[in-house]
Amino acid sequence: MSDASPQPHDLRRFTVGRRAVLAAAAASAPVLAGVTTPASAAPPVRRPRALPGGGDLGPNVLVFDPSTPDIQARLDEVFRLQESAQFGSGRYALLFKPGTYQGLNAQLGFYTSIAGLGLSPDDTTINGDVTVDAGWFGGNATQNFWRSAENLALVPANGTNRWAVAQAAPFRRMHIRGGLNLAPSGYGWASGGYIADSRVDGQIGPYSQQQWYTRDSSIGSWLNAVWNMVFSGVEGAPAQSFPNPPYTALDTTPVSREKPFLYVERDEFRVFLPEKRVNARGVSWGNGTPRGTSLPLSRFYVARPGVSAATLNQALAQGLHLLLTPGVYHLDRTVRVDRANTVVLGLGYATLVPQGGVTALKVADVGGVRLAGFLIDAGPVNSPTLLEVGPRGAKRDHSANPTTVQDVFIRIGGAGPGKATTSMVINNRHTIVDHTWVWRADHGEGVGWETNRADYGVVVNGSDVLATGLFVEHFNKYDVQWFGERGRTVFFQNEKAYDAPDQAAIQNGAVRGYAAYRVGDRVTTHEGWGLGSYCYYNVDPTIVQEHGFAAPVRPGVKFHGLSVVSLGGNGQYAHVINGIGSPTSGTSTVPSTVVSYP
């Protein structure tokens, strides 16, 4: 970061005193497993020093309170740095203490998160806007990735807040006292998006948004639809009407547990862990304080860029949780989460980059793990996997205390050469994947059919897994493969790989192309709602994709609201699912749909 970069406001009084933490750690923290106290006659054995919990959140976490001078200038400086830094290394978290802030417009660029530090969004009110627009890209918002807003109340200056985003841009625990516009200025292209646990008092206007998923929220009204708008547990949502208009609406979300979040209590940081909800509808904070538990920052190892994977593993083995402050972390070995109920929480799109072909992060067959708010970037040496939730063959029942994977994004290429055979593998039963974007890059650096080779996006082997908000794009073969029983997906968005050189490159035996979403042949029970796949074969527009979806023909395998789209006639789908559904045709970019299957 240059000398001109903004610095946090008075962060010292919100951090745990290092001297006190070291003293407490020396008195009570366990040492690593396998280290024993030497016998009195033996030479002394060096024991690893216990790592302290808590600590400074670093220079790229800016903390404001209502008395902070020049807040707008600081926000503008971060935006200047990040507005068009799509593949840069800058990472920022903008945190606002409870109170009321007047006349602000926080424009968010890449890798920038803004959040309130109260227990409820209404604890922190901005009379102004949190804005995402697309001036940097000629009014086109389809590349407005990697930014987020969370836990704030907004009173928009003109009555409507603008949030024109694409993938990996969550809007969580927000209260908009007005309307919300999801399209860029002038209503240029937009391709999002995700809202959860939020209340919008006025109207939400998606305008040009091609697809959107809204979960466990309350809205005044919804204006229109383009291809695929999905709602689950949303008060005020449009009625089920797919495909005209293309609204898929579930009264409730089967299981949900909101993302952990940082907050301030008596000038000390804590992390709140919302409880699980079954058949959820509406926001979790509707009556004020949400239900759940809280952890002090002293229970977390506060990681800074440059820390080794060995140190992260030592902290985890010692019983600490991980708080990843903004920045890029290069890992020469796998980070291993072996303890139940461990929290790994990233701020400001903290990014893990595996080196030498290792897997970035693995979780044991334990319950209650919470992975949230970070990005995994594939390294230049092929990794067999990038994220593994559970070991192969995991069988334990975690229904009472599932693992959640929330706002964890994976990227192969774009920021530079990267390769991975499979990006995300879910082996643990009852895992909830709540909003992910798993992306083999179609633009940026290190991009090409073999340059950023990545055959499979998400593979689900565990039973009873639920995905809410599954975005997976551009893989060389299958984007999603689901082999576990009783799997469920609410909302899926996909684009097939643009850069397939010809029909032969994607030939799958006798089948033309690999389905975007495949259910394994032995699966007897599976269900999905609101799933879309799009093709844009711009290298060879004559390519024919047999279908977007493939599944065994069984009564227990069901889909609702399926669509495929050829963008401008660049490639064609012959069917929607298996041999069912009309082919896409011409250059009209009109979806072919199947209301229900079978």
Catalytic positions, please?
495
CA-CA distance, 95 to 83, in Å (whole number)? 19
The answer to whether residues 105 and 78 touch, using CB atoms and an 8 Å cutoff, is no
Element (H, E) at 147: strand 147-150
Parallel, antiparallel, or unpaired for β 194-196 and 343-354? unpaired
Q: Which residue, 150, 149, 210, 214, is CA-closest to 469? A: 214
Tokens of 575: 């069917």
The residue type at 191? S
The residue type at 382? N
CA-CA distance, 23 to 447, in Å (whole number)? 50
CA-CA distance, 32 to 47, in Å (whole number)? 8
Helix, strand, coil percent values for the chain (each to nearest 5): 10, 45, 50
Contacts of 302 (CB under 8 A, 6+ apart): 53, 54, 55, 56, 57, 323, 325
Provide φ and ψ at 309, rounded to 5°: -65, -35
For tokens 């949400």, the residue is 290
Cα 331–Cα 337–Cα 342 angle in degrees, nearest 5? 125
Length of the chain: 598
Tokens of 397: 């029942």
The answer to whether residues 183 and 164 touch, using CB atoms and an 8 Å cutoff, is yes
Helix (H, G, I), strand (E, B) or coil at 12: helix
From the CB of residue 88, how many other CB atoms can be counted at a distance below 10 Å? 14
Contacts of 415 (CB under 8 A, 6+ apart): 87, 377, 441, 444, 445, 446
| CA 495 to chain centroid | 17
For tokens 């689901």, the residue is 482
Kindly calculate the radius of gyration of the chain based on its CA atoms and give it in whole angstroms: 23
